[in-house]
Structure 1
Amino acid sequence: MDPRDLDFINELLEREAQLKERIREHVGEFEKKVRLMTSMLDKVHLTPKSESAGVYLNVVGKKNIVPVVPELLETIKPVFHNCHRITAALAGAVPQDELWRWKDLWTVPLRAAVFSVVFASFLANGTLVPLVTVAEQLGIREEWKDRFSLTPEDYLHGVITVINELSRLAVNTVTLGDFEAPLRISAFAKEVFTGFSMLNLKNDLLRRRFDSLKYDIKKIEEVVYDVSLRKLIPPRTATPPA
């Protein structure tokens, strides 16, 4: 083999190794921000309803749907904003038209970031934030779609994780004395499940995770039924578990 060919191949390998290392550095920074966001949001499971009030991000004039300390909502704003710098760095590090070559490096933290945005939005206004808005909150731009983007699959995985978390929250809100929250959680979870049912899911992992949602919904329904049985909520709003 020609030594010049070997030198050329070695040079290409070295460039690729350096590129991967740069991308991993940015991904590592992204993971730290995501861990911070999720740990902050986890405090919702410990906050009594009496301490709740305020809004999240740009939602104005709407009360929180479930318990959240106002200070927490304010504190998490700059964390979301700081993600813009990191996602921009990632997009700048990935060569043009090489999204799918490097995507696996950031898939896990990106899905966790989606979870944080969607969960926080639910806590703020009880609605499901769309994919485009999630991308905006994380600073992901449309012009980066060939290098770094939020794919529908990653968005859906994040949404499913939110429903998983809400099944836990339904139990904890009752423990903290908020007997109305499980009703709103149940309505939201069922609406999301209905939306997923209308999708043509061909990805095996995504399909399996969607199928598992019915267990989360059943757990939430059991909480609603239990508080109704104990006359902690109006009987007309409760439905027995499936």
Structure 2
Amino acid sequence: MSVPEMFSYIQGFLSADQEIREDIRKVVQVLEQTAREILTLLQSVHQPSGFKEIPSKCQKARELFCTVRTHLGELKTKFPVDQYYRFHEHWRFVLQRLAFLAAFVVYLESESLVTREEVAQILGIEVVREKGFHLDVEDYLAGVLIMASELSRLAVNSVTAGDYSRPLRISNFINELDSGFRLLNLKNDPLRKRYDGLKYDVKKIEEVVYDLSIRGLSKELEAGGDK
């Protein structure tokens, strides 16, 4: 093969690779738009009147996840199945965002931590790497950490809305979450930085709970629970 032929072959390879990346970007843009719609929908729970609407908002969010599954199904077809991590950077952020949204919905519904398997089921993708397009464990953990920040905000807004028991429950949940992350040996730098942010979320929620205690509201809740 001559030098011109060699570079012509390389150019063909680069062009094909660029086409794949462009196709991926188009689908990811649609996914990002749907993720914004879900987030906008769930943001209403932070409003004083939004707590009563949590069940209906979660139901509508789950309906939008049907659209997410359709787009992720399309994304799977845009690249060779064995080259997930070669193109992973294109959808990493939106997948983490979707994992956060799925985790937030499940928390609002049951006040429990969603499993990686449950998130994958909501998104219509795999957990096992060998099966193709999957939810990487680090993307799942990043989504959970984003949810922790959202819950710290929810704790503050709960007090504003007059819901004094919710911050206490959020505090217990976040502390359990923090204990769980302490068991992990995180070497991924972006994930490690997100985990460092969890410490501030814990502190922020503790301040809310402390304020409730100072005002005597936590004691009123405990007394009401005893009755």
Structure 2 length-normalised TM: 0.90
**Residue 229 (structure 1) shift:** 1.5
Partner of 2:49: 48
Q: What code does the residue aligned with 1:113 have?
A: L
After superposition, the Cα gap between the structure-2 partners of 1:223 and 1:40, relative to the gap in structure 1 and judged at 3 Å, is same
After superposition, the Cα gap between the structure-2 partners of 1:178 and 1:235, relative to the gap in structure 1 and judged at 3 Å, is closer
Q: What code does the residue aligned with 1:48 have?
A: S
Q: What code does the residue aligned with 2:89 have?
A: D
Do residues 17 (structure 1) and 18 (structure 2) align?
yes
For 2:148 and 2:54, the matched residues in 1 are separated by 21
8 Å CA contact retained: 2:117, 2:127: no
Alignment of 1:149-164 (within 5 A): 149-164=134-149
Do residues 30 (structure 1) and 15 (structure 2) align?
no
Alignment of 1:85-124 (within 5 A): 85-124=70-109
After superposition, the Cα gap between the structure-2 partners of 1:140 and 1:94, relative to the gap in structure 1 and judged at 3 Å, is same
Moved more, 39-48 or 129-138: 39-48
8 Å CA contact retained: 1:121, 1:128: yes
SS of 1:172's equivalent in the other structure is: helix
**Residue 120 (structure 1) shift:** 0.9
Q: What code does the residue aligned with 1:109 have?
A: V
For 2:186 and 2:220, the matched residues in 1 are separated by 37
Moved more, 209-218 or 228-237: 228-237
**In the alignment, which of 164, 168, 190 is matched to residue 183 of structure 1?**
168
Where in structure 1 do 4 or more consecutive aligned residues deviate above 6 Å? none
**Residue 143 (structure 1) shift:** 6.8
Do residues 139 (structure 1) and 124 (structure 2) align?
yes
SS of 2:217's equivalent in the other structure is: coil
**In the alignment, which of 186, 202, 207 is matched to residue 187 of structure 2?**
202
Partner of 2:210: 225
8 Å CA contact retained: 1:164, 1:213: yes
For 2:135 and 2:188, the matched residues in 1 are separated by 16
- Unaligned stretches of 5+ residues in structure 2: 223-227
> What CA deviation, in whole Å up to 9, does each residue of 1:137-169 have, x standing for no partner?
001135774652211111111111111111111
8 Å CA contact retained: 1:48, 1:178: no
SS of 1:179's equivalent in the other structure is: coil
8 Å CA contact retained: 1:170, 1:223: yes
Between the two proteins, what is the percent identity of the paired residues?
Answer: 38
For 1:137 and 1:162, the matched residues in 2 are separated by 16
Q: What code does the residue aligned with 1:220 have?
A: I
8 Å CA contact retained: 1:140, 1:150: yes
Structure ranking higher in helix proportion = 2
Over aligned residue pairs, what C-alpha RMSD do you find? 1.9
**In the alignment, which of 156, 170, 181 is matched to residue 155 of structure 2?**
170
**Residue 191 (structure 1) shift:** 0.7
- Unaligned stretches of 5+ residues in structure 1: 53-67, 238-242
For 1:14 and 1:183, the matched residues in 2 are separated by 56
